[in-house]
């Protein structure tokens, strides 16, 4: 029953904000800016971590072996292929795939510029990725000098996708040797590699004749269904010599993410960027609310003189902060979705909005507005009702 | 909290008065800068009485108003509003008391972001136990009574000085005050609207049995008073004399 609504009051906070539309617009622009800044920085950071394991997530493996000297996907070191064979002695191991992994220079067939591309060499009939298109086309690699190109690689590598679909014969140089593109897959670049190329182990060794005999960079291990990867990994760690590291597939992904997060400046920079967005937002909202409270100080003092308790006035400022955060979040979210689209199409990085991040930024904006409101409230203590006469 | 000790509790007729001030002294500043602004002020106002207070600026009129209006703490002497002693009262007590004291200021002090109706409702909102609609209807009724029934949705910005002051009166009265304090309510108005505002104030206060203490310099409105008081150098003169004798 609205007619007996004793708690309903005039929405003073709302009216204070909306009766000054220009000031409100500036405030919302400031909050939205801070929100976008946080969205972009967090998006880049998570996108980077996600992008660094684009391929990692696809490997058809339960466990992997890498060299203990390997630090990340851009610095894969070799280890003896024998270790992979030794692991087959474990009863839970169903099959293994040795993989060669290196960054080699690719010549753009259109403008002849060279650029570093990630090349994976594997036995074409062995499983490599959980991806049907690669599995289907892999037999084409059995001839030397044949490669499958990732068409979502950066466009600096040349218009391979369109040319290939037009039926053109694409031949170019990798590490100074002539190769022919015989198929396309679509995975996408990562922070470490601008593009991906798949070839047979034989072609890889032909491209990289200096590779020590029997040395590989990655060993994929598939377990019999129902076995516990963590337990088998522990067994293998005990059985194999210390010149090899055993990871579960998830552990391998974490290892890679962890490298970018801790061993490079990148994770730190983007986290710091988000923090800066937060601080900038706080300053903007504080300025707005502080100015607002100062402007209306005589009016607040009048309300106190009329008998309104200070608590009510603090409530007005708090509600102003809450309204600003709600009104500022919408534009920030919409703009961030737009910018994410731009970033995706410009860089090919998987920068997408997750509900977790949408919630996180909302909470940050809310905290930002409430902290600023709280700081601006101190100004209310200056509202001495005795001064208004 | 009416009385904190048996001695302080008295049953004199002054307990029935709306306002009773006895031996009120007040100082500003400290040490060498100390300056006494009120010296032994005695004053009593009965319900429904309209009292005008005049005097040169700086004589302590406004200080007296803020003390009586529970906006400042009392230093020395006794100030009883509706029988409640303000000397030694808590901040919360004063804030609660202010709900029963209407105030009209030299400037109208309306909230700029609210319409006339909403401004008046800020006063009505202080009344306990009324629904939103009832409080809004009350605000509209008061605006009609001050002759602004056609200007409900106007912002203060769009109202003339006299209209704004009338909104301020409606706001003060909408909270059903038992004491109305007015500080030069006609200072910003021309003679005609000043006259209208004061007449309105007086008749509405009378209807509600609300006492009025009004500070003014305006000689044109002195005749609305039941009693005239003059203040000089922090002392009240002619407290019990008739208006015409004070003016000579």
Read off the pLDDT band of B15 (50, 70, 90).
low
CATH 3.40.50.300 fits B1-100+181-248, yes or no: yes
Residue pLDDT, tens place only, B60-100: 888 899 899 988 889 999 999 998 899 988 888 888 899 89
Q: Cβ distance B170 to B143 under 8 Å? A: yes
pLDDT at res. A23: 86
- Residue B80 corresponds to which tokens in the numbers above? 């009883």
Residue pLDDT, tens place only, A307-326: 888 888 889 989 989 999 99
- Asked if A305 lies within 8 A of B103 by C-beta distance, the reply is yes
CA distance B225 to B240: 13
* pLDDT surpasses 90 at A329: yes
B246 vs A10 pLDDT, higher one: A10
Read off the pLDDT band of A252 (50, 70, 90).
very high
Query: Going by C-beta distance under 8 Å and a sequence separation of 6 or more, which residues neighbour residue B166?
Result: B146, B147, B148, B196, B197, B200
Q: How far is B230 from chain A (nearest CA, A)?
A: 19
CA distance A246 to B145: 88
The answer, for A294 touching chain B at a CB cutoff of 8 Å, is no
Q: How far is A304 from chain B (nearest CA, A)?
A: 8
Read off the pLDDT band of B7 (50, 70, 90).
very low
* pLDDT surpasses 70 at B244: no
Q: Which H or E run includes A276?
A: helix A265-295
Instruction: From chain B, pick out residues whose CB is under 8 angstroms from the CB of A388.
Output: 105, 109
* pLDDT surpasses 80 at A62: yes
Strands B50-54 and A93-107: unpaired
- Residue A229 corresponds to which tokens in the numbers above? 């990867």
- Asked if B99 lies within 8 A of A306 by C-beta distance, the reply is yes
Chain centroid to CA A356: how far?
A: 13
Residue of chain B with shortest Cα separation from A5:
B131
- Asked if B69 lies within 8 A of A16 by C-beta distance, the reply is no
Alpha helices in B82-157 (DSSP H): 91-98, 116-124, 132-145
CA distance A253 to A11: 52
Cβ pairs A/B, distance under 8 A: 91
Residue pLDDT, tens place only, A124-143: 999 999 999 999 999 999 99
Angle formed by the axes of helices A297-306 and B91-98, nearest 10°: 90
Average the pLDDT over A243-263 and give the result: 91
Average the pLDDT over B193-217 and give the result: 87
Chain centroid to CA A220: how far?
A: 25
Query: Going by C-beta distance under 8 Å and a sequence separation of 6 or more, which residues neighbour residue A245?
Result: A65, A66, A67, A68, A70
Q: How far is A283 from chain B (nearest CA, A)?
A: 25
* CA torsion through residues B115, B117, B123, B129, sign: negative
Read off the pLDDT band of B53 (50, 70, 90).
very high
pLDDT at res. A150: 95
Q: Cβ distance A192 to A257 under 8 Å? A: no
**Mean pLDDT across chain A:** 89
pLDDT at res. A389: 61
Domain assignments of chain B as residue spans, ordered by start: 1-100+181-248, 103-176
CA distance A42 to A29: 20
Which residue among B72, B113, B128 places its CB closest to the CB of A386?
B72
- Asked if A389 lies within 8 A of B105 by C-beta distance, the reply is yes
Instruction: From chain B, pick out residues whose CB is under 8 angstroms from the CB of A13.
Output: none
Q: Of A201, A234, A310, A241, nearest to A84 (Cα)?
A: A241
Percent of chain B scoring above 70 in pLDDT? 90
Instruction: From chain A, pick out residues whose CB is under 8 angstroms from the CB of B129.
Output: 6
Residue with tokens 């209006």: B69
**What is the edge-to-edge ordering of all strands in the sheet holding B76-81?**
B35-45, B19-28, B76-81, B84-85
Distances (CA, A) of A335 to A36, A271, A351, B42: 7, 20, 14, 68
**Residue A243 φ then ψ, to 5°:** -85, 15
Which residue among A5, A15, A298 places its CB closest to the CB of B132?
A5
pLDDT at res. A161: 93
The answer, for A16 touching chain B at a CB cutoff of 8 Å, is yes
pLDDT at res. A290: 85
CA distance A133 to A125: 14
A4 vs A56 pLDDT, higher one: A56
- Asked if B114 lies within 8 A of A12 by C-beta distance, the reply is yes
A12 vs B58 pLDDT, higher one: A12
Q: Cβ distance A385 to B101 under 8 Å? A: no
Which of A306, A312, A313 should we substitute to test contact with B (largest number of B Cβ atoms within 10 Å)?
A: A306
Q: How far is B108 from chain A (nearest CA, A)?
A: 10
- Asked if B71 lies within 8 A of A15 by C-beta distance, the reply is no
Distances (CA, A) of B181 to B55, B104, B112, B172: 16, 6, 22, 9
Q: How far is B24 from chain A (nearest CA, A)?
A: 17
Residue of chain B with shortest Cα separation from A3:
B133
């Amino acid at each position: 029953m609205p007619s007996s609504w004793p708690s309903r009051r005039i929405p003073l906070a709302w009216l204070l904000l909306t009766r000054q539309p220009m000031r409100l617009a500036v405030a919302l622009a400031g909050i939205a800016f801070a929100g976008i800044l946080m969205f972009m920085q967090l998006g880049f950071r998570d996108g980077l971590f996600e992008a660094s394991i684009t391929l990692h997530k696809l490997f058809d493996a339960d466990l992997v072996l890498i060299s203990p000297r390997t630090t990340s996907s851009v610095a894969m070191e070799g280890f003896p292929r024998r270790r992979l064979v030794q692991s087959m002695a474990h009863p839970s191991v169903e099959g293994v795939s040795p993989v060669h992994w290196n960054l080699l220079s690719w010549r753009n067939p259109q403008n002849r510029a060279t650029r570093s591309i990630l090349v994976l060499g594997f036995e074409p009939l062995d499983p490599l990725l959980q991806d049907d298109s690669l599995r289907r086309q892999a037999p084409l690699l059995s001839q030397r000098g044949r490669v499958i190109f990732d068409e979502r690689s950066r466009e600096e590598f040349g218009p391979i996708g369109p040319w290939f679909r037009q039926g053109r014969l694409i031949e170019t140089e990798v590490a100074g040797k002539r190769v022919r593109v015989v198929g396309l897959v679509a995975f996408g670049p990562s922070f470490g590699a601008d593009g991906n190329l798949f070839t047979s182990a034989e072609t890889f060794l032909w491209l990289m004749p200096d590779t020590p005999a029997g040395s590989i960079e990655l060993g994929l291990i598939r377990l019999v269904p129902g076995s516990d990867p963590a337990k088998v990994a522990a067994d293998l760690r005990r059985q194999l010599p210390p010149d090899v590291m055993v990871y579960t597939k998830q552990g391998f992904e974490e290892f890679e993410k962890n490298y970018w997060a801790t061993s490079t400046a990148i994770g730190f920079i983007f986290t710091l960027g988000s923090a800066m967005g937060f601080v900038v937002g706080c300053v903007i909202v504080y300025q707005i609310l502080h100015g607002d409270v100062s402007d209306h100080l005589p009016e607040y003092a009048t309300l106190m003189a009329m008998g309104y308790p200070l608590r009510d006035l603090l409530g007005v400022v708090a509600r102003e902060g809450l309204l600003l955060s709600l009104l500022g979040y919408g534009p920030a979210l919409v703009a961030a979705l737009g910018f994410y689209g731009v970033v995706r199409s410009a860089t090919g990085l998987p920068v997408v909005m997750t509900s977790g991040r949408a919630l996180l930024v909302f909470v940050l904006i809310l905290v930002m507005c409430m902290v600023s409101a709280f700081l601006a409230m101190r100004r209310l203590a200056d509202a001495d009702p005795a001064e208004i006469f | 909290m009416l009385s904190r000790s048996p001695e302080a509790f008295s049953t004199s007729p002054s307990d029935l008065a709306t306002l009773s001030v006895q031996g009120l002294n007040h100082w500003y500043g400290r040490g060498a800068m100390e300056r006494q602004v009120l010296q032994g002020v005695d004053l009593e106002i009965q319900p429904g009485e309209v009292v005008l207070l005049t005097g040169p600026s700086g004589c302590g009129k406004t200080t007296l108003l803020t003390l009586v209006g529970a906006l400042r703490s009392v230093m020395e002497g006794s100030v009883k509003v509706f029988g409640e002693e303000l000397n030694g009262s808590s901040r919360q007590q004063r804030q609660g008391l202010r709900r029963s004291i209407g105030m009209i200021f030299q400037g109208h002090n309306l909230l700029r972001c609210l319409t006339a109706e909403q401004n008046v409702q800020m006063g009505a909102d202080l009344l306990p136990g009324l629904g939103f609609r009832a409080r809004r209807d009350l605000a509209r009724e008061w605006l009609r009574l001050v002759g602004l029934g056609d200007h409900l949705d106007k912002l203060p910005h769009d109202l003339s000085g006299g209209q704004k002051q009338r909104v301020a009166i409606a706001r003060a009265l909408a909270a059903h005050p038992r004491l109305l304090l007015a500080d030069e309510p006609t200072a910003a108005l021309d003679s005609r609207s000043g006259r209208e505002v004061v007449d309105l104030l007086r008749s509405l206060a009378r209807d509600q049995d609300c006492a009025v203490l009004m500070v003014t310099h305006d000689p044109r409105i002195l005749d609305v008073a039941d009693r005239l008081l003059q203040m000089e150098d922090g002392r009240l003169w002619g407290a019990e004399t008739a208006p015409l004798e004070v003016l000579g």
